[in-house]
Chains A and B, each alone.
Chain A
Amino acid sequence: MITLNHYLFVSGALFSLGLAGVVIRRNILVLYMCLEMMLSAANLALVAFSRFHLVDGLPDYTAQALVFFTITVAAAEVAVGLAIIVAVYRAKNSIDVESVTKMHG
């Protein structure tokens, strides 16, 4: 039997992997994919909550509607993010995250 905890465990693992990737990896593209993975982790958690929170014998669809919004926003974000990455590559001729350190104090 797969319970809510199983789902949440997978979601947490995905999130942690994503965060670790964002922190450790140098390639901005990989970093970006890790970021998307963190978003997916959140979506998974929302869907799991929706499925296990029964309202009148049916799953709570409000959370699933929220997930659709998140996916849409993530798609838009990907468009902007990739454009920024292209711009960074053009400016620095590199997609290493270490090349973007202009904001140091």
Chain B
Amino acid sequence: MNSITPASIVLLLPLFSAFTILLLHRQLKGAAALISIGSSAICAILSMIMLGAKDTPIGEPQHILSFIHISDSLSFDINALIDGQSRGMLFIVTFIGFLVHLYSYGYMKDDEARPRYFGSLSMFMFSMTGIVLADNLVMMFIFWELVGLSSYLLIGHWFQKPSACEAAKKAFLTNRIGDFGFMIGILLLFGLNHGNVEFADLADSFKTGPLHDLKESHSWVITAAALCIFMGAVGKSAQVPLHVWLPDAMEGPTPVSALIHAATMVAAGVYMLVRVSFLIGASEMAGQVIAGIGGLTAIFAALMAVQQNDIKRILAYSTLSQLGYMVMAVGLGAGEAGMFHLYTHAFFKALLFLGSGAVIYACHHEQDIWKMGGLSKQTPATYLTFAIGTAALIGVPFVTSGFWSKEAILGAAYEHCKILFAVGAFTAFLTAFYMTRLFIVAFLGKPRTDSASHASDPPLVMIAPLLVLSIMSLISAIPFVRGRLQAMVPHEHHSDAHWLIVGISITALVAGVALAFKLYKGKDKDPLNIPLFANKFYIDEIYAVIIKYAQDRLAWIVTGLERVFVDGLVARLPAAIACRIGSAARSLQSGHMQGYTFLLGAGIVLAIYVAVFVLPRIGG
């Protein structure tokens, strides 16, 4: 029997909560929210306790249950791998999860489908915890799909809105493309490593095992596997070219955007890449591709964010851009810097999203920043916390956590690839620019509409998570907290380049903020008009055209093949043969009695002939 450990409780309690709510939501009504919040609170406390616990010895994950058991050498288990990386991530997931649950209690107060919302949220917590604790790729893939499902359910929470339905579908389908690659990657590793996909075993195998030999002889196979696995991350972490689902996912409730589409689920791709960093380390080309995609995403998303007007969409593009940073860091072999940025980003981006939720709540579901303005006076608490979040995101030096983690990534980029460093620095400039733009337009100046002038701070249950998160955004980079959160602390750069990097990033920050102030101070309309950025580089349109011309053509061809082969050869031909045989046999049944008699007689004669003349001759 399995012993009950904190890890198994953290994993299974949300599942229990989800099932209770989804099965009994009619009976539970308001209690559903409390069950869900309670379970997330317990998980948060447990994972906080686990932060102080000792590591499980490497290669000995805690067994929770057997999932598939074919033979002793071929079985997949649900285990809990507790190490520095998973404990830190577990804390982020459960802690932010708890705050988001609490916030949702206020934000979703008037929603009729609140039990369903909280049930799906618990479902998400279960799935995400599973990803974090996974000790093998198969378990990770199972929970990977489960987070995709929960994300689909939560984006489509307001399924009465066609746009929400479309967004949910888009997110799911886009993720399928990535997941397909991920699956192929897992199967490749499964085959290459003789049916063992545990992280510890794979890492060993790269040192002294079949994968090591393979790396020497057929390195392209390793590259292919690494890139296939990376495809999973491209889908989940919304990297170019599969980034299109994330901005649309903002159709979901804002707390969901904060938890799933900013802090945790989209970061799962980065988390997974760090887990398989031995694989990326084994293939230089895969690392370069990953870093390149990350850098590309960072700069593209930042450019798109510059021209958005929806407060949540700006944040969504900013999330894309920051995820690009993390993926770039992982690709450059600086996984610890990526994870560091993941942690700090989780706090300040959740803060920003929850803050935008508070703004939207205060302005009666207005999301266009040009219809806000002057919120600093109306909603001081939101204003203050949003300011802290913005400062952390744009990396105000020394006091915010974002500065340190971005610093770590830029440092890694400077070491490995100067081009990516330039991309990162330019993205930092853009980030400062668009976040300042958002901040000035929404919070400063005069109210532009009635809803903005009558806005007021949301209730305490929503403000409290904002305050906690803003504290975390400030302190999560100081060595004490940082050391608690992660085993892998990025090594400090105390070279000459260090001050150069700091100088460049501060210059980028100041330039971005100054430019935004100059352009947007006191403006009622956007002085910039760059259709290319506002229309997201027309990528959605390009995809639509590709689908129209390529996919529909393909479908047409496949339909043709189907008509000939499946319809014709498989279905129609045997039917026709049976039909012919039937009608031939039917013509024997003439109904003429004498015909039957004749056949009877002929049969007897034949039988006698055979019995008398044929059988004796062949010796029967």
Q: Which residues of A contact B (CB under 8 A)?
A: 19, 22-24, 97-98, 100-105
Contact = CB atoms under 8 A, between A and B. Distances in A.
A105 B597 CA distance: 17
A41 to B, nearest CB: 13
A23 B597 contact: yes
A98 B590 CA distance: 11
Nearest to A101: B591
Contacts of A19: 597, 601
B71 interface: no
A104 B587 CA distance: 8
Contact of B594 (A23, A102, A104, A105): A23
Given A22-B594, A98-B592, A100-B593, A105 B601 contact: no
B591 A102 contact: yes
Contacts of A23: 594, 597-598, 601
A21 to B, nearest CB: 10
B69 interface: no
B481 to A, nearest CB: 90
A80 to B, nearest CB: 16
Contacts of A105: 585-591
Interface in B579-620: 585-594, 597-598, 601
14 contacts: A19-B597, A19-B601, A23-B598, A23-B601, A97-B593, A101-B590, A103-B591, A104-B592, A105-B585, A105-B586, A105-B588, A105-B589, A105-B590, A105-B591
Nearest to A23: B598
B590 A104 contact: yes
A22 to B, nearest CB: 5
Given A19-B601, A23-B601, A97 B590 contact: no
B587 A101 contact: no
A97 B601 CA distance: 18
A100 B596 CA distance: 13
A23 B588 CA distance: 16
B514 to A, nearest CB: 96
B409 to A, nearest CB: 84
A37 to B, nearest CB: 14
Contact of B589 (A24, A98, A103): A103
Q: Which has the most chain A C-beta neighbours within 10 Å: B587, B590, B594?
A: B594
Interface string B84-98: 000000000000000
Contacts of A97: 592-594
A104 B595 CA distance: 11
The 10 closest A-B pairs by CB, nearest first: A104-B591, A105-B589, A101-B591, A105-B586, A103-B591, A23-B598, A19-B601, A22-B597, A104-B590, A23-B594
Interface in B337-351: none
A19 B593 CA distance: 13
Given A100-B593, A105-B589, A105-B591, 15 more contacts: A19-B597, A19-B601, A24-B594, A97-B593, A101-B590, A101-B591, A101-B592, A101-B593, A103-B589, A103-B591, A104-B590, A104-B591, A104-B592, A105-B585, A105-B587
Nearest to B596: A103
Interface string B139-182: 00000000000000000000000000000000000000000000
A24 B601 CA distance: 12
Contacts of A98: 592
A98 B592 CA distance: 7
Contacts of B590: 101, 104-105
Nearest to A35: B597
Contacts of B587: 105
Nearest to A98: B592
Nearest to B601: A19
A21 B7 CA distance: 96
A19 B601 CA distance: 7
A73 B72 CA distance: 76
B589 A104 contact: yes
B609 to A, nearest CB: 14
A87 to B, nearest CB: 15
Nearest to A16: B601
Nearest to B598: A23
A92 to B, nearest CB: 13
Nearest to A34: B597
A104 B589 CA distance: 5
Contacts of A24: 594
A29 to B, nearest CB: 14
A100 B589 CA distance: 13
A24 B598 CA distance: 9
Nearest to B591: A104
A101 B597 CA distance: 14
A89 B586 CA distance: 28
Contacts of B589: 103-105
Contacts of A101: 590-593
Contacts of A100: 593
Nearest to B605: A19
A16 to B, nearest CB: 9
A19 B586 CA distance: 25
Interface in B1-19: none
A88 B598 CA distance: 22
Contacts of B598: 23
A104 B594 CA distance: 12
Contacts of A103: 589, 591
Nearest to A19: B601
A97 B586 CA distance: 21
Nearest to B588: A105
Interface in B22-73: none
Nearest to B592: A101
A100 B598 CA distance: 16
Contacts of A104: 589-592
B599 to A, nearest CB: 10
